[in-house]
A and B are shown apart, each in its own frame.
Chain A
């Protein structure tokens, strides 16, 4: 029970690593930096494994397991402890975070080998891990917010890692500020939550809502308001419409960063938060619908953008946005487990995709534009195969991890407690598009003729410390989903079963039962008799699979079979094409509607107008008036004695009149 009692160790290790590398690393050799950077993360990964071992021994009553360390904030009624908690959900997240980041760290040691600021990079990465773990382990909203903002900070620092590039610096800033806008909602949500429940501890809050009925879907009840506000934070952090704009730009950062932060972990924080707050969300149907709707819309919308991207990383970025959409869709329709499940699988395959993409870029000397690639299949086999597996996974081809998770989500969307057929459709089409652009990516990159200059660029497979992580991740992208496999043949979904206690507790009684009978409900909706074989058959021939395959074929048609077709389609589509090509002009619209007006007003109206003209004008004006008056008064002092005498007489007359007036009044 050592780690359970000393959860803080898991946090402290990466923090220490960050501190060491950050303060001293600059002067150390790479080896030492690696030792500290990677060492700390691997240690905390081991801790997590040990933690799991200890965790399984806990009785159900002891979960979630709390551990309070010290009182962090205390003013009046407002008390926040630095306390950590562990439950199944935490375990999953811990596992994903530490595992993926360990791999990414290892990968980076190869990828960043030739970059300046090596130590800085690792210290930031470690710091990120620290904050991410804080976020996951926290027992109250405030502590969660610490992690929440902390990962944002690290993402800011890492996106802008190559700060000499203005684009990178801009991207970092954009990321931080955009997410901050979401955090505006998140903060207010916390405020509201505190005044509604007089506490910010998950436990206490859940206790209080436990015996509350669900609010009506019509009005903005307290819970609904809180949930919506919190969700605003998630929208920012997890790059959903309308705040997704920062994520594509975030690709300015080094590829490992994109893999770890902008694919596997940080961006999923929103999903985790929603899942964590499920007792509230489950009681706020309106909020639920909102989450689902935003998720589905994003899933579809950014998939469409992904279709036309030519920068390999941008494609992945939009696909990430889209996949996050699926996770929210899952949570939104009440299938939290499915959402988290997808979170995990996505962490594997999307992490892999990014790393592989990085390896590709690494291989052909920093080129990111797919139009300048092609035919790499032979040259970098490891990368190719691993990437292909990941693609199959994300496309949802049966048997691969993505298939299981995405399938669950879509089923829930169709037949779940909060099912909504339109959202399901959106998701479905999105899935099709996903597989299309992913295979487009594969074909453009690895097939066809080399479109790069073979004389200057000599392609080479990446070093071992990069390829090994790829392989490991590839393995998990394949098997990662099998936890749920039995479910296909009517058996239990082990993953869901594992998380069940979390989502059952405080859940609405109704919702829980639906949770359990989810699969059944879904299959009933499909209207097919219960027999393992049929189940399997149905699942593997279900709509998702079909659209996935369609997407694959379409991509094949466009980029292998008839390479010219793409161009023709482009001509025929014209306007629509340009719209999508320019990402629906969203950045431009934001710029024109929000940013530039704001700056203009601040400069001309507020600063020059109010500050300088109005207020200072008034201030200096009074001063001028005083001097003017002085100037006038001194004129009286004409220097002429007769004038003076007259003034004396004026005084005499004036005062005598005054006196007599008062005298007669009496």
Chain B
């Protein structure tokens, strides 16, 4: 007997960890991973709710989210490549030409 809330709490925790990861990783690639982590948390929540409401819609959303995640990953990594071509560093903190 696992209540939905278990899953929700888990997804919440994962989401929070994702946020923390986002803030604390310097390497751009890992930052993307953090985003992926957050999206996973979202998926978990969706599935759990789908179960709670006994609807398929939730699952459909998960499906969309995964697609979007894939697309984002593709573009994001392309950007990363451009960046690392132009400036030999993947540390996000080095990227600060634009400020003030």
Q: Which residues of A are in contact with B by a Cβ distance under 8 Å?
A: 634-635, 637-642, 645-646, 649
| CB contact list, B20-59 vs A, under 8 A | 22-23, 26
Judge if B82 is at the interface, Cβ distance under 8 Å.
Answer: no
Judge if B88 is at the interface, Cβ distance under 8 Å.
Answer: no
Judge if B1 is at the interface, Cβ distance under 8 Å.
Answer: no
| CB contact list, B78-100 vs A, under 8 A | 92-93, 95-100
Apart from the given pairs A640-B96, A641-B92, 5 other A-B contacts in the complex at a CB distance below 8 Å = A637-B99, A639-B96, A639-B98, A639-B100, A646-B23
| Cα-based distance from A634 to B100 in the complex (angstroms) | 5
Contacts of A641 in B (CB 8 A): 92-93, 95
| Cα-based distance from A645 to B38 in the complex (angstroms) | 14
Judge if B73 is at the interface, Cβ distance under 8 Å.
Answer: no
Closest to A649 in B: B19
The 7 closest A-B pairs by CB, nearest first: A639-B99, A639-B96, A634-B100, A641-B92, A637-B100, A645-B23, A640-B96
Cβ of B23 and Cβ of A649 under 8 Å apart? yes
Cβ of A642 and Cβ of B96 under 8 Å apart? no
Most chain A CB inside 10 Å of its own CB: which residue of B23, B95, B97, B98: B23
Closest to B19 in A: A649
Closest to A636 in B: B100
Cβ of A638 and Cβ of B23 under 8 Å apart? no
Contacts of B22 in A (CB 8 A): 645
| Cα-based distance from A642 to B24 in the complex (angstroms) | 8
Q: Which residues of B are in contact with A by a Cβ distance under 8 Å?
A: 19, 22-23, 26, 92-93, 95-100
Mind listing 7 A-B residue pairs with CB under 8 Å?
A639-B96, A640-B92, A640-B93, A641-B92, A642-B23, A642-B26, A645-B23
Nearest chain A CB to B8 CB, angstrom units: 16
| Cα-based distance from A649 to B22 in the complex (angstroms) | 11
Cβ of A639 and Cβ of B92 under 8 Å apart? no
Instruction: Knowing A635-B100, A637-B99, A637-B100 are in contact, say whether A642-B92 is a contact too (CB < 8 A).
Output: yes
Of A635, A638, A649, which is within 8 A of B96 by CB? Answer: A638
Closest to A646 in B: B23
Of B19, B97, B99, which is within 8 A of A638 by CB? Answer: B99
Contacts of B23 in A (CB 8 A): 642, 645-646, 649
| Cα-based distance from A328 to B38 in the complex (angstroms) | 104
| Cα-based distance from A637 to B98 in the complex (angstroms) | 9
Nearest chain B CB to A117 CB, angstrom units: 70
Contacts of B92 in A (CB 8 A): 640-642
| Cα-based distance from A639 to B95 in the complex (angstroms) | 8
Contacts of A634 in B (CB 8 A): 100
Nearest chain A CB to B99 CB, angstrom units: 3
Closest to A652 in B: B19
| Cα-based distance from A634 to B99 in the complex (angstroms) | 8
| Cα-based distance from A639 to B92 in the complex (angstroms) | 10
Nearest chain B CB to A627 CB, angstrom units: 14
| Cα-based distance from A303 to B23 in the complex (angstroms) | 100
| Cα-based distance from A240 to B71 in the complex (angstroms) | 102
Contacts of A646 in B (CB 8 A): 23
Contacts of A642 in B (CB 8 A): 23, 26, 92-93
| Cα-based distance from A649 to B23 in the complex (angstroms) | 9
Nearest chain B CB to A399 CB, angstrom units: 102
Cβ of A639 and Cβ of B97 under 8 Å apart? yes
Nearest chain B CB to A596 CB, angstrom units: 55
Contacts of A645 in B (CB 8 A): 22-23
| Cα-based distance from A642 to B27 in the complex (angstroms) | 11
